[in-house]
Amino acid sequence: MTEAPSADLGSTPLQTVAVRRAVVLANAGAGAFSQTLAADIEQRLANAFAQHGIAADFRFVEAKELREAALRARTEASGGAIDAVIVGGGDGSVRTVAGVLAGTGIPLGILPLGTLNHFAKDLGLPLEVEEAAATIAAGLTRAVDLAEVNGEIFVNTSSIGIYPYMVIERERRRAHRRLAKWIAMVPAFLRMLRHFPRRRLRISAEDFARPYRTPCLFVGNNEYGMDLFTFGRRHRLDTGRLWFYVVKPRTPLEFFWMVCRLCFGHLDQTRDLDTFELTEAEINAKASRLPVALDGEVEIMPTPLRYRSRPRALRVIVPEAAPG
């Protein structure tokens, strides 16, 4: 690898890597494939990579098989058979492959083929297939943070409370009626307001301990913007800090009005959220197990939940003008 010219990326150095051979792990259930045939996307990608001199081995796998496929690709990269591992899918797919590559230094390329693609957007990656392939071919990489809870990696956020509840309800409705995610989320939100689960949690770290009774706790891998123009976006992915956002409203009506203020860009952080940053923390609850959302996917985890930042654990391919 050779050092690339420095850009405005905070303290994270940029490096270039020659990407000539790569394995492309495409999640067959990603959002793009619900609208376009996999063969069409594969042909577009193959043409784009060929134009830039990359020999790409395409492997379309189901979500449940993605981790094993990533482990095989990691072995190939470690042995020098390929120069990078590329994942095609949404945030859940990126999370799975990032967890396998964490700490290895193997470059990860991202083809944003999911529904929301939050991580790709925060990296400044182009969303068009051909432009994303050109970015990967340029081979500019930087190290970014990962976060984990009880050993499970996440790249964006983890949450406890109403969001995992809504995701479970959304997927139940999709399984029965084959609805799109955003359509199924509407009745899931309304059902959540009727039941409105709240949790008694205790967040503790070195010289820090706070009890809460809250409907929702979000943990972000680095800081998220909270005003109208930056909401849900990150300007830095390499500070080595976790950001905790504890929702204050305790009744369904209070929460509903908070969501309305959020939608119109009038979120009052003092009134609506308790916010703080830590490098690691332990979250205790009365329940022995809790549903925990990780980048939009839910897992049932034993308590206590142990969160920590993993600074610069992932080397990812980025565009030249990536945000810091």
Condensed to tens digits (0 to 9), the pLDDT of residues 138-164 reads: 999 999 999 999 999 999 999 999 888
Q: Does 18-138 match 153-311 in CATH topology?
A: no
pLDDT of residue 295: 93
Backbone CA torsion sign across 16, 20, 23, 27: positive
DSSP string, 230-296: TBT--S-S-S--EEEEEE---SHHHHHHHHHHHHTT---HHHHEEEEEESEEEEEESSSEEEEEETT
pLDDT of residue 95: 96
Rg (CA), the chain: 20
The residue-averaged pLDDT of 48-57 equals: 91
Residue 1, pLDDT > 70, answer no
94-118 pLDDT, tens digit per residue, is: 999 999 999 999 999 999 988 889 9
What does pTM read for this prediction? 0.85
Q: Which of 180, 161, 163, 139 is nearest to 319 (CA)?
A: 139
Q: What is the mean pLDDT of the chain?
A: 87
Q: Which of 120, 122, 144 is nearest to 238 (CA)?
A: 144
Is pLDDT larger for residue 183 or for residue 77? 77
Q: Give the domain ranges of the chain.
A: 18-138, 153-311
Cross-strand partners of 13: none
CATH 3.20.20.10 fits 153-311, yes or no: no
Contact 195, 138 (CB under 8 A): no
Residue 37, pLDDT > 60, answer no
- pLDDT band for 309, please (50, 70, 90 cuts): very high
For residue 277, give every residue at least 6 positions away whose Cβ sits within 8 Å of its Cβ, in sequence order, or none: 223, 241, 242, 243, 244
pLDDT of residue 115: 81
CATH class given for the domain over 18-138: alpha beta
